Amino acid sequence: MQARPLHNDPTVAPPPGRPPQAWPQQANGNPAGSASSPLPVGAAAPQLSVDYQAARNIAAQVARQREELLKTVPGMDRDSEEQRCLDWINEAVALWSDAHAMTPHEDGALRRAVYDLLYRAGRLQPYLDEERVEDIIIQGPNEVWLDYGDGSRRMVGPIADSEEELLELLRELARGSGHSERTISTANPTLALSLQDGSRLQAITGLGPMTYAVIRRHRVAHSGLDDLVRLGTIDLILREFLGACVRAEKNVMIAGKQKAGKTTLLRAMLKEFDPDCRFATIQTEDELFAHNNGYHRQVVSLVGRESNGEKDVTGRGAGEITLLDLMHPALRMSLERIVVGEVRGPEVVAMMQALTNGSGGNLCTIHARRPDIVFDRIAELYALAQGNLSEQLAYRQTANGLDFIVFVDMTDETQIGGSRHRYVSHVLEVTGIGEAGRPATNEIFAPGRGFGELRAVPQMDPGCIDDLRRVGFDSGLLQLQYGAWEQPLELKVGASR
């Protein structure tokens, strides 16, 4: 057996927001009072106690000064306005500090809190800045939990003093993220949006005893396939195979469980597009960041819009723009490819039509618990579409339009002292219509069951192997039965010993 390289597992995360220039800096370069210094996973971030009533009062004072400033100088640019506000924050905090004998570190924490209230996510911001956080779980204003990438969880302090203050925070997040049409109230009890840093927020109010929200942070927001090799999601062989699928303009659907890493893999595969490839991303909230990642230059980024709460004469929400609504005009934008962030409803029909009628190289994701039920999930979504489209039509269009299904899995052993592992387990080639009218598949990559490897290793050549060879893929890599893994995935249960 040939020697295989061992890949490291670095932490990859997007940088926090730009620190205000006027703040004193700690030795690590972070603003004083910042909660982003390195710590062991799951450990509490060092946070000084902040008088949030004082922070709110100073923020309100500076907001009034800002309002008067913008009336006087209506054309002032954002940077100049922000710097003026920072000067006012420093002045107000200095007065408060003198009156209450605060330390320099307490001064910095209060300045940061005021700035966050004015320009960022308020009392949520320290948790959004914490690189190790994967989910922020909000159970009313007083109960907030942080979920980390390794599966650990801890409770942190309140982010609001009342339900109304929490709702106002959520509304402010919507306004600050450019979603002025989205709000949350008893009349509009749900809110879904992308925050300025790309995190995804989902909130519900008025349908239970308190307001609930979850913020999903994208810890691996700008990684390519090489980064996923280092993280252990794929090996070098699968990295080359997926890159070749993109270059050969194969239509690929990424499937998997919730939180398994489908969107992360989709972003990484987008980096295999030519920088000048013209393509559209169609999403309910922007989680792909292709239009501003510094790599792609020809991206049509389309995001659906929620209803304003009213109904039109057809009973549809007024102002609502669904992914299905976006799909048809997108097809007229002289695109080379279409990427749907997640197929979750009737837009699956338009997506499959694009796969069968247009050029290749389109990508999308879908939720599915196992690779063998992906086709049934597609058929279920067809049944939800207008006209109650048939299962057989779903199967036929899937067989005609899809080339590969890539399944992303997750094994979570945190409850028994282990780790959370995310990895690609299968790559299925769709080969046409099979028995009972269902799409037929070949397992090109699958777990190495004979030697205890849950991650994908080569099984056979795909039928389109010549297409992949033409874009530079070395088909000899598919003969390495152990893939490029040095050893099977280390697990506490079911691992090969």
* 408 and 298 assigned to the same domain: yes
Helices 104-119 and 78-100: crossing angle, nearest 10°?
Answer: 140
Tell which residue, 462, 469, 465, has the closest CA to residue 443: 462
Tell which residue, 263, 258, 443, 471, has the closest CA to residue 369: 258
- Measured distance CA(227)–CA(249) in Å, rounded: 22
Looking at the domain assignment, is residue 353 inside a domain? yes
Q: What residues make up the domain containing 319?
A: 225-479
Strand arrangement of the beta sheet that strand 212-216 belongs to: 153-156, 143-148, 133-139, 212-216, 200-204, 190-194
Which pTM value belongs to this model? 0.75
- Measured distance CA(339)–CA(358) in Å, rounded: 13
Left (φ > 0), alpha (ψ -120 to 50) or beta: where does 133 sit? Answer: beta
Q: Residue 481 is encoded by which pair of tokens? A: 């039965």
Sign of the alpha-carbon torsion through 254, 258, 260, 265: positive
Looking at the domain assignment, is residue 93 inside a domain? yes
Helical residues (DSSP H) of 120-162, grouped into ranges: 125-129
Looking at the domain assignment, is residue 13 inside a domain? no
**How many CA atoms lie within 13 Å of 159's alpha carbon, on the beta-carbon side?**
30
Radius of gyration of the chain (CA): 25
The angle formed by the CA atoms of residues 143, 144 and 148, to the nearest 5 degrees, is 150
Length of the chain: 497
pLDDT along the chain (497 residues), means of 10: 34 34 36 33 51 93 94 91 95 94 91 92 90 92 90 88 93 80 86 84 94 86 89 96 97 93 94 95 86 90 77 67 86 90 84 78 94 94 82 92 96 89 97 92 95 95 98 97 92 71
Query: In CATH, what number is assigned to the domain containing residue 190?
Result: 3.30.450.370
* 232 and 318 assigned to the same domain: yes
Sign of the alpha-carbon torsion through 304, 308, 309, 314: negative
Domain boundary among 185, 201, 219: 219
Cα dihedral 326, 331, 334, 336 in deg (nearest 10): 100
Phi, psi (rounded to 5 degrees) for 376: -70, -35
The pLDDT value given to residue 350: 78
Cβ neighbourhood burial of 305 (10 Å; 0-12, 13-18, 19+): middle
- Measured distance CA(23)–CA(87) in Å, rounded: 10
Residues 112 and 32 sit within 8 Å (Cβ to Cβ)? yes
User: How does DSSP classify residue 25?
Assistant: B
Residues 360 and 395 sit within 8 Å (Cβ to Cβ)? no
- Measured distance CA(60)–CA(82) in Å, rounded: 15
For strands 200-204 and 190-194, give the pairing: antiparallel
- Give the Å distances, CA to CA, from 21 to 32, 86, 112, 327, 497: 12, 9, 12, 43, 54
Residues 368 and 374 sit within 8 Å (Cβ to Cβ)? yes
Cβ count within 10 A of residue 218: 21
Looking at the domain assignment, is residue 317 inside a domain? yes
The pLDDT value given to residue 358: 66
* 302 and 409 assigned to the same domain: yes
- Measured distance CA(62)–CA(81) in Å, rounded: 11
* 207 and 231 assigned to the same domain: no
Task: Read off the pLDDT of residues 131-179 as tens digits, 9 standing for 90 and up.
Answer: 889 899 999 999 999 998 777 889 998 999 999 999 999 998 988 777 6
The pLDDT value given to residue 464: 97
* 201 and 244 assigned to the same domain: no
Domain boundary among 72, 87, 119: 119
Bridge partners (DSSP) listed for residue 434? none
Looking at the domain assignment, is residue 276 inside a domain? yes
Phi, psi (rounded to 5 degrees) for 378: -60, -45
E strand or H helix that includes residue 96: helix 78-100
Phi, psi (rounded to 5 degrees) for 274: -60, 140
Looking at the domain assignment, is residue 485 inside a domain? no
* 258 and 375 assigned to the same domain: yes
Query: By three-state DSSP, how is residue 311 classified?
Result: strand
Domain boundary among 119, 142, 162: 119
* 394 and 415 assigned to the same domain: yes
Looking at the domain assignment, is residue 260 inside a domain? yes
Bridge partners (DSSP) listed for residue 422? 410
Looking at the domain assignment, is residue 380 inside a domain? yes
The per-residue DSSP string of 375-420 comes to: HHHHHHHHHHSTT---HHHHHHHHHHH--EEEEEEEEE-GGGT--E
* 71 and 139 assigned to the same domain: no
Query: In CATH, what number is assigned to the domain containing residue 397?
Result: 3.40.50.300
* 99 and 138 assigned to the same domain: no
Per the structure, how many domains does the chain have?
3
* 363 and 308 assigned to the same domain: yes
- Measured distance CA(133)–CA(152) in Å, rounded: 10
Cβ neighbourhood burial of 323 (10 Å; 0-12, 13-18, 19+): buried
* 290 and 402 assigned to the same domain: yes
* 215 and 247 assigned to the same domain: no
Residue type, 462: P
